Amino acid sequence: MNRLLKQILFISLLAAALSGCNTTRGFGEDLQHLGGAIERVANK
Note the pLDDT tens digit of each residue in 2-44. Answer: 888 889 899 888 888 777 666 667 778 888 998 999 888 888 7
The span from the CA of 24 to the CA of 1, in Å, is: 33
Instruction: Report DSSP state, residue 23.
Output: S
Instruction: Report DSSP state, residue 43.
Output: T
Question: Can you point out the beta strands (E) in the chain?
Answer: none
The span from the CA of 15 to the CA of 27, in Å, is: 12
The span from the CA of 43 to the CA of 5, in Å, is: 31
- pTM of this prediction? 0.46
